Amino acid sequence: MLDLLFFLRSFFPRKLPCGITEFNCWLKDIIRLSGLPDNASTRRVAAGFITMLPPGLGYLSIRKISNALIKAAANQVAAEVIKLQDESKQLQEASKEVV
């Protein structure tokens, strides 16, 4: 029942954090909702997300923030996959030129 209530409350706007303690509680709820790891990278992206919000926006649902963090994590993985594929292609082309 508690998880259902948490899930439903995630759709409603919440005040953005205005202190370190509030930020930690706010981020804990977002991490719980998103399933992302609680590490420095997640904290940095969440803090950066707040700074990119337009002026006058003091309330936002943790659902939207959670989705934005999941998208940022997916973008990071996708960029790495593309980079690895490009490097592999360059190695293959270099080995063809040597032969």
How high is the pLDDT of residue 99? Answer: 61
Distances 12 to 6, 7, 64, 98 between C-alpha atoms, Å: 10, 10, 10, 61
What local confidence, expressed as pLDDT, does residue 30 receive? Answer: 96
pLDDT of residue 57: 94
Mean pLDDT by 10 residues, the chain (99 residues): 88 96 96 94 93 94 95 94 93 77
- β-partners of residue 14 are 60
49, exposed or middle or buried, with CB in 10 Å at 0-12, 13-18, 19+?
middle
Cα(66)–Cα(91) distance, integer angstroms:
38
Helices and strands counted in the chain (H then E) = 4, 2
